[in-house]
A and B are shown apart, each in its own frame.
Chain A
Amino acid sequence: MIEADQVVKHFGDVHALNGITLSVDEGEIFGLLGPNGAGKTTLVRILATLLKPTSGRCTLGGIDPHRDPMAVRALIGLAGQNAAVDDLLTGRENLEIVGRLYQLDRAEARRRADDILERLSLTDAADRQVRTYSGGMRRRIDLGASLVGRPRILILDEPTTGLDPRTRNELWQLIRDLVSDGATVLLTTQYLEEADELADRLAVIDLGHIIAEGTPDELKERLGGDRLMASPTEPDDMARVVSILEQVGATAPYVDDRRQQASIPVTNRIEALLAAGQLFENEQIALRDLAVTRPSLDDVFLSITGKRAETDEPEPAAAGRKGRRR
């Protein structure tokens, strides 16, 4: 449904995209995971007909967004990271105006606005100006605006960036509900948890390259599956802890001195945990913690890129904007 083939975008000396190739099937939720400045928004803008690639080709529903932008625009719904709604208009007016711009007649635009408001639980706030909305409500109305045209492809650019955890969870639920009927979704996010929650398949993007691709589980597999982690109460016991882990694990344990813990990949998590527990018991080593951990996507990201995923800073909006206008 969405194909990108060697898409390159340079803004002068800034190489935002360095040959992105990806393919999203119909009905799939595809996550594009990456830190700030990875090129996610640039790719979204190219797919959404807002930006021309320097080279490479892409199609949505078989249509090239730069050969026939109007046809692609009729196919997609875009919800951007900036909550692109009109503050001084009410929620209903926002949706109605978008409906009218989809060439719907007045009555149909109104009907769709009402439907969407109800499904987004915004009916009570429908006639209030958007500037009075909370952050979560703004994201919902923005999402709603992207649904007015009943898009077959929904492009969500960082739909929950900046929201508190509870609001984020609500929005995730909403997105799952909205797409459960077969729309194709391209979702960008810098939250590993979000990609894990929503995406059927995902690509990790960094510095304009796709550096890994697969289902969330496949990507976790790449780290070697489960790890057994133990940390002694007494720092002096660390050497003994390491020697016990060596007996239950397959390779050399990894010791994190700062956190005072050691870990080792294991093939059978339950067996390894029970065996290690027995050995610690026999050796009389006091432990602060003993656990089997599954690698998080954060670990995946760390292991591929050698750095932590940045989630704290907002996207460098100013730079991005400059780039898009020149």
Chain B
Amino acid sequence: MKAGTTPTTATAGVTGSQLGAPVRAGATGPRNRSTFGRFVSDTLTMTRRNVLYLVRRPQVIVFALISPIMFVSLFNFVFGGSLDVPGLSYANYLIPGIMVQTVMFGGSNTAVGLAEDMTRGVIDRFRSLPMSRLAVLSGRTMADAMRGIITNSVIIVMGFVIGFRFNNGFGWAVASFLLVLLFGYSITWFYAWMGLSLGNVEAVQAASFLPAFPLTFAASTFAPVENMPGWLQVFSAHQPVTQVVDATRAMMQGGEIAGPLVRSLLWCAGIMLVFGFLSVRQYRKG
């Protein structure tokens, strides 16, 4: 039997008349869908489910809004005066960094959310449904990426308050925003893998900040890499956050775009492929 051709008429009796509500037998049975059609439709359904979760936990949204406001203010007013960045005001230097940092830290929500699902047994329900398995993960990462739109918009508004401006035209401004979202989306796959592998909410909460700190601080996020000790530069100049921050900054403020942008896109693709593959494998194992 093909997965899509669930016997509707034969089984209509199951939900039968006993409690009064007659069932419209065979009115609209499950539709026959290709694997890809099923994946897209299930991803949208799961995204909706996860967005509802986001919306109904107002504290999560509130913290997601407060932390970028806090970071922008702290970094700008605490370090802004003492950090010398070549050719840019510190606000213009900082905002692209804060945006990338925020999507990096925000990814931990994906890990926690998946770990939570795994422990609550609701994942067993999804696994027992004739749905696309990948959609459980892609719906989660998609919803979390949507949250990134909100937080990054807040950062930009906050940036305008402290003197940040886009100085490279509207087109590049939009492109830079999209690049940050794309990076955020790739990084959620790393966190998805982490959440699925650790599988326990407390462990995930403790572990999820660990990779985010070195990656966002040992990078061109808040200060130029050139001022770091040589041994650290080896790491910080080549790791993905620096590439994405440099590309974003250049797209917003001008400067060399092509190099860092290509490297950023390669990093995004690589992260998505590797951790997408690992996540799906981990989920299947479950």
Q: What residues of chain A have their CB less than 8 Å away from a CB belonging to chain B?
A: 45, 48-50, 61, 63, 68, 70-71, 73-76, 78, 80, 82-86, 88-89, 93, 97-98, 100-105, 107-108, 111-112, 115-116, 118-119, 129, 145, 147, 149-152, 154, 177-183, 321, 324-325
Q: How far is the CA of A195 from the CA of B65 in the complex (A)?
A: 53
Rounded to whole Å, the gap between the CB of A51 and the closest CB of chain B is 9
Q: Is the CB of A84 within 8 A of B56?
A: no
The complex places the Cα of A297 from the Cα of B175 at a distance, in Å, of 70
Contact B3 A108 (CB under 8 A): no
Q: Which 8 A-B pairs have the closest CB atoms?
A: A82-B121, A70-B3, A181-B13, A181-B16, A119-B19, A73-B130, A177-B18, A183-B14
Query: A111-B24, A325-B199 are known contacts. Are A150 and B11 too (CB-CB below 8 A)?
Result: yes
Residue of A nearest to B4 (CB): A103
B21→A102 contact, CB < 8 A: no
Q: Which of A61, A154, A180 contacts B16 (CB 8 A)?
A: A180
Chain A positions within 8 Å of B119 at CB level: 321
Nearest residue (CB) in B for A155 is B128
- State the CA gap A86–B130 with chains docked (Å): 18
Residues of B participating in the A interface, judged by any CB pair closer than 8 Å = 1-8, 10-21, 23-24, 27-28, 30-31, 33, 38, 41-42, 45-46, 48-49, 52-53, 56-57, 118-131, 199, 285-286
Please tell me if the beta carbons of B14 and A78 are within 8 angstroms of each other in the complex: no
**Distance in angstroms between the alpha carbons of A101 and B44 in the assembled complex:** 10
Q: Give which listed residue, B33, B123, B126, B129, contacts A149 with CB less than 8 A.
A: B129
How many angstroms from the CA of A104 to the CA of B6 in the assembled complex? Answer: 11
With a cutoff of 8 Å between Cβ atoms, the chain B residues found around residue A149 in the complex are: 6, 30, 129-130
A79 (CB) vs chain B CBs: closest residue: B125
12 contacts between A and B (CB under 8 A): A45-B124, A48-B128, A50-B128, A68-B3, A73-B3, A84-B123, A97-B45, A100-B41, A101-B45, A101-B131, A180-B18, A183-B13
A178, B15: Cβ atoms under 8 Å?
Answer: yes
Contact between B129 and A129, CB atoms less than 8 A apart = no
Are A84 and B45 in contact, CB atoms less than 8 angstroms apart?
no
Contact check: which of B53, B118, B121, B129 meets A102 at CB < 8 Å?
A: B129
State whether B7 touches A147 (Cβ < 8 A): no
Are A101 and B42 closer than 8 Å at their CB atoms? yes
* Contact, CB under 8 Å: B12 / A105: no
- How far is B99's CA from A293's CA once the two chains are assembled, in angstroms? 75
B124 interface neighbour in A63, A80, A93, A116, Cβ under 8 Å = A80
Q: Which A residues are in CB contact (< 8 Å) with B31? A: 103-105
Contacting pair B15 A115 (CB below 8 A): yes
Considering the chains assembled together, what is the distance between the CA atoms of A154 and B16 in angstroms? 14
A102 touches B122 (CB 8 A): no
Interfacial chain A residues near B13, Cβ < 8 Å = 181-183
A227 to B123, CA, bound (A): 48
The closest CB in chain B to the CB of A111 belongs to B24
**Cβ of B199: which chain A residues have Cβ within 8 Å of it?**
325
Contact B121 A71 (CB under 8 A): no
Please name all residues of chain A whose beta carbon is closer than 8 Å to the beta carbon of B45 when the two chains form the complex: 97, 100-101
The reply to whether A74 and B130 form a contact with Cβ atoms under 8 Å apart is: yes
Complex CA distance for A61 and B3, rounded to whole angstroms = 13
Q: Are A50 and B127 CB-contacts (below 8 A) given A103-B38, A103-B41, A152-B11?
A: yes
> With A321-B119, A325-B199 known to touch, is A152 a contact of B30 (CB < 8 Å)?
no
| A86 x B38 contact (CB < 8 A) | no
